[in-house]
Amino acid sequence: MKPKIYEGIHKQEKGGMTPTANIIRDAWVFGIIPEDETCEGWTIQGIDALYDKVSAAWEPYGQLASKLPPELRERHARIYAEAVERARAQGWSPELGDDD
């Protein structure tokens, strides 16, 4: 059986506004992976391992951006603002649809 391969954050549906993309953005925030790493071509096992690292990085802050130190909070705000802008440009809307 062929392993499932991730398409990459910038190729993902909904403009990358998905739980997997959030893991990647959070990994950027914490410097776990560089911001130019889209995870394109990664296996599910690779994404799962990244999730574990991101979860451990969030633990001291209770999963709350408001509890991040200033440098990380600013990076988080920038990365997520850019993500929303990119997603809206690709047609994403934060409004819930009939499928949500």
Q: What's the pLDDT tens digit per position in 3-61?
A: 889 999 999 887 889 999 999 999 999 999 999 999 999 999 999 999 999 999 999 99
Residue 2: the pLDDT is 82
Instruction: Tell me the C-alpha distance between 29 and 98, whole Å.
Output: 32
Do residues 14 and 6 touch, judged by C-beta distance below 8 A?
A: no
Instruction: Tell me the C-alpha distance between 17 and 10, whole Å.
Output: 10
Residue 40: the pLDDT is 97
Where are the domains positioned within the chain?
9-89
Shortest CA distance to 65 belongs to which of 21, 22, 18? 22
Q: Is the confidence at residue 98, as pLDDT, over 60?
A: no
